[in-house]
Chains A and B, each alone.
Chain A
Amino acid sequence: MSATIQTIFDKSQDGRKGIALPPLDVEVDAKIDSAFLREKKARLPQVSEFDVVRHFTNLSNKNMSIDKNFYPLGSCTMKYNPKIAERVANQDGYLNLHPHVITNNFNADVQGSLETIDMLEKSLCEVTGMSAFTTTPQAGAHGEMLGVMMIDKYHKSKGEKRKYIIVPDSSHGTNPATASMVGYEVITIKSDENGAIDFEAFKEKMSHDVAAVMLTVPNTLGMYNKRIKDLCEVAHAYDALMYYDGANMNAIMGVARPGDIGFDVIHINVHKTFATPHGGGGPGSGPVGVNDKLKPFLPDLGIKKEGDLYEFTKGGENSIGKISPFFGNYGISLRAITYMTVLGSDGMKDASSKAVLNANYLRVRLKDYFDVPFGGMCMHECVLSAKTLAKKGVSAMDIAKYLLDFGLHSPTVYFPLIVKEAIMIEPTETENKETIDYFCDTMINAVKLADENPEEFQHYPKTLGVCRPDDTRAIKELDVKFHSQ
């Protein structure tokens, strides 16, 4: 492996062309005022189409991906992305629709897509027990923001300006970040000895100044909080609303419904639970569901069926406004409803059941080799700790790097923050027993190596061409774009 990298810019040759554009078939004197013109061209690389194909094909080979590797990242639900979703979504009838047909009110021209949106909304309502959905948020965090905006307007519509949002200390970072984006202060409640949000501490902090509580069920430790209904009741007694972060929906899909549990507003990460591809970090989509309390505040664009035709609807007078220009990441919504159609009600129940089966099997195989911060059954993910190993000089990060050499992507490490040397493992339901056994065997080998030769870990990974980036240098000697020599 070479020590220096060749970017696409390094492969540029003056005069090389990558594309033939459509011809200029009109004769005009097209002049732009020189004051509006740029003085220097944007120096994009000059390469041939074949150069481009070779370059990016080779780059793709440097990635781990679900299609190649077991990817047990806790909280990310890296399940198999069914190819049928790609075949459906790549049809011309869906790809080439211009969104401004909405502005022109040409609803008759997009009845197919409007029906897919309707199908998705209705299916999500049924799976989650909510009364209405909007598919406009473009990611889970975007959905969280929308949810908190609607909660804010709910309180304001009653003449109240509340100050706080409660989150558990085990929450995903997007929860408190979202609260701040919508102008709220965060109250963090510690977890109890079972990893659940401390009920007494929660009751103590609850007041009429609290706008909402954001929770994940099961929580980020993979544990189902038995007092969740009581929590909802306490909050509702103060008219604080319950927000469900749907990141862990894969554990309870087809088994329990957030709406039944008592949640007022939820978001779903379709790139987790509903198998839309992760794309290297996006695009995802975070549809938001509400009960009747929050319906009046839904965003500006919706659909309804009038007779045989779907029509566009505007938001009510209490709508929070717009967070996306049109229907959000429509292409991703389409993939999600394709998956839900293939899976069906029976498939959904089977998916969550096998997800929980896989996670518990893995937990039992590994519990004697790692610290287990919270004992007992987990749901779709389990959290272990490398606390004891760390005393020998082998950290969770070292385990993570070791696994890479064996064709296994690491689990999530150092999250949730309340567990030292946390290792959060979510196998998902689409992994077979052989793969899970291979993963467990490799993890056990890592523990054995930690006993025999802990210094060896700093050399991992050995087979990927690069090993252990200097993150400090990356910040101190910032290099975030190509500079030509």
Chain B
Amino acid sequence: MTYTPHTDEQVKQMLDVIGLEKESDLFSSVPSELQVHGIDLPKGLDEFSTFEKFKTLAAKNVTNKTIFMGGGYYDHIVPSAVDALAGRSEFYTSYTPYQAEASQGTLQVLYEYQSMICELSGMDVSNASMYDGASALAESALMAVRISRKRNKILIDGGINPTYIKVVETYLSFRDIEFEIIDVENFKTNRQAVLDKIDESVAGYLFQNPNFFGTMDDFTAIIEKLHEHKALAVISAYPISLGLLKDPGSMGADIFCADGQCLGNYMNFGGPSFGMIATKEKYIRDLPGRIIGRTLDKDQNEIFVLTMQAREQHIRRHRATSNICSNQNLIAVRSTIFMSLLGEEGLENMAKLCFSKATYLKEELSKLDGIEVLNKDDSFNEFVISTPLNSDDLLLKLRDKGFYAGINLTNIDEKLTNKVLVSVTEKRTKEQMDALIAAIGEVL
């Protein structure tokens, strides 16, 4: 099935106008020895046969397990209005808003998005999205180095999502930037070890709250010392938790980043999601990505525009703050709609639900013989359990009983033997949690 509308008659007319005899003459500039004679792929299909093919494949995927896995990606609610609105082709088939007058819809949504991210994070200015939480953290590290001008060292807290750490390491290893990871102790930031490492060579310190293991912490002392030494505090936070937990702005953080999948988006096997990045007003010139601003047009009407474009690749080229061009716009639009539905009360209630339900599960799990919740007292809606069984074994058996009970931490760090990361969202019912408890009881 081809989507070209040309009739034979029209092709002939157009070739005549151009002055060519046959269609293949269009490629006369391509040397004949380089032209392929057909690609070795099946011929096109009608959309119905295509759908059957991909429906059969979808059926080979399993989506009927009750999910207690987190690790940066969560089984949160996705309201139907989000799908309905983001599914409008005026949103999804539009383009980057380079012509402001033709894109006021997208531009206003992004302005509202930026505003909401600033409310969530307590920062002054947000951009219009990055690829995901991991690359947003990597770009935040590069931003800290840029701002510090002459420093080139980044401290990385070991409590950050290990996949994010790998991405940050990859980005930094191709530049003259030194990085050091400071291991957690009992799934919590080793505060003294971090304090000891802060000096004039450090451009920034990256940390996550709650951290990958779900532990909440108070970073005041660390941020104070960072600022004394003119280093930057870069936090990766879990947006839903910000319904209850201290916002990065109030902490004194300099750069905030996060992953937005949790805000009204499907997990989609890991993507597309989107990344957030926000900062203090004085650092706006060093922010990567697109920024939307509000101004007036020639008749004094309010109008939204892309602004501060001189930071970006299409103008600044090799000196740009980042090479980013396409971002994750549509997913950020989804989250703007989601946050509008939620409202300030909704966000707080959603965070409370997650925390309360997780508290219930932590308590019930603690009653099981052999299971220990290792960070019970200071974890938010994710926590680490230790099990008497090999974690691989336990998770496979629970999967057979209908549960993705958690993330196997041994696969992330072989020193974490028999440890599993469990997460609870507002979608988990008491019934589901009780069923999980019963299943674990059976397996042990």
B323 surroundings in chain A (CB, below 8 A)? 141, 144-145, 174, 177-178, 180-181
A176 in the interface, Cβ–Cβ < 8 Å? yes
B44 surroundings in chain A (CB, below 8 A)? 341-347
Q: How far is the CA of A79 from the CA of B47 in the complex (A)?
A: 17
Q: Is the CB of A36 within 8 A of B245?
A: yes
Shortest Cβ distance from A330 into chain B, in angstroms?
4
> Given A26-B356, A26-B360, A100-B73: A281 and B329 within 8 A (CB)?
yes
A115 surroundings in chain B (CB, below 8 A)? 57, 60
* Interface residue count on the B side (C-beta < 8 Å): 208
Q: How far is the CA of A480 from the CA of B118 in the complex (A)?
A: 10
B350 in the interface, Cβ–Cβ < 8 Å? yes
Closest 9 pairs (CB-CB, A-B): A344-B44, A93-B58, A279-B330, A326-B270, A321-B170, A99-B270, A112-B60, A177-B323, A177-B313
Q: How far is the CA of A73 from the CA of B93 in the complex (A)?
A: 13
B390 surroundings in chain A (CB, below 8 A)? none
B295 surroundings in chain A (CB, below 8 A)? 469-471, 473-474, 477, 479
* Segment at the B interface, from A11-19, A234-242, A288-296, A383-391: A11-19
**B75-91 at interface with A (beta carbon < 8 Å):** 75, 77, 79, 81, 84-85, 87-91
Number of A-B residue pairs, CB cutoff 8 Å, is 686
* Segment at the A interface, from B7-15, B183-191, B223-231, B366-374: B7-15
**A436-485 at interface with B (beta carbon < 8 Å):** 458, 461, 464-471, 473-475, 477-482
Shortest Cβ distance from B222 into chain A, in angstroms?
14
A35 surroundings in chain B (CB, below 8 A)? 218, 246
Q: Is the CB of A466 within 8 A of B19?
A: no
Q: How far is the CA of A123 from the CA of B281 in the complex (A)?
A: 46
Q: How far is the CA of A305 from the CA of B183 in the complex (A)?
A: 36
Q: Is the CB of B330 within 8 A of A468?
A: no
Q: Is the CB of B115 within 8 A of A9?
A: yes
Q: How far is the CA of A352 from the CA of B347 in the complex (A)?
A: 48
**B319-347 at interface with A (beta carbon < 8 Å):** 319-320, 322-331, 333, 337, 339-347
Interface string of A111-151 (1 = CB under 8 A from B): 11101100000010011000000000011111011000100
B415 in the interface, Cβ–Cβ < 8 Å? no
Residue of B nearest to A337 (CB): B54
Q: Is the CB of B85 within 8 A of A97?
A: no
Shortest Cβ distance from B321 into chain A, in angstroms?
9
Q: Is the CB of B167 within 8 A of A323?
A: yes
> Given A325-B72, A345-B40, A432-B5: A8 and B112 within 8 A (CB)?
yes
Q: How far is the CA of A328 from the CA of B244 in the complex (A)?
A: 30
Shortest Cβ distance from B101 into chain A, in angstroms?
5
30 A-B contacts (beta carbon < 8 Å):
A1-B301, A18-B342, A21-B350, A22-B429, A38-B122, A43-B119, A44-B340, A45-B340, A53-B85, A62-B105, A64-B103, A96-B75, A97-B61, A116-B57, A180-B318, A180-B319, A257-B36, A281-B96, A282-B330, A282-B331, A321-B167, A323-B167, A326-B271, A330-B269, A334-B54, A356-B27, A401-B99, A464-B104, A471-B295, A480-B126
B341 surroundings in chain A (CB, below 8 A)? 18-19, 47, 49, 52
Given A47-B343, A283-B274, A464-B102, 20 more contacts at CB 8 Å? A4-B302, A19-B79, A45-B343, A52-B340, A68-B90, A94-B58, A98-B75, A109-B65, A141-B324, A180-B319, A185-B318, A281-B97, A281-B329, A283-B327, A340-B41, A343-B44, A354-B6, A410-B102, A433-B6, A477-B295
B331 surroundings in chain A (CB, below 8 A)? 279, 282-283
Q: How far is the CA of A464 from the CA of B26 in the complex (A)?
A: 38
Q: For A42, give its contact among B15, B243, B318, B395 (CB under 8 Å).
A: B243
Shortest Cβ distance from A88 into chain B, in angstroms?
4
* Segment at the B interface, from A199-207, A357-365, A418-426: A357-365
Q: For A430, give its contact among B3, B122, B166, B245 (CB under 8 Å).
A: B3
Q: Is the CB of A277 within 8 A of B92?
A: yes
Shortest Cβ distance from B237 into chain A, in angstroms?
11
B85 surroundings in chain A (CB, below 8 A)? 52-53, 56-57, 60
Q: Is the CB of A481 within 8 A of B114?
A: yes
Q: Is the CB of A347 within 8 A of B2?
A: yes
Residue of B nearest to A80 (CB): B3
Q: Is the CB of A280 within 8 A of B60?
A: no
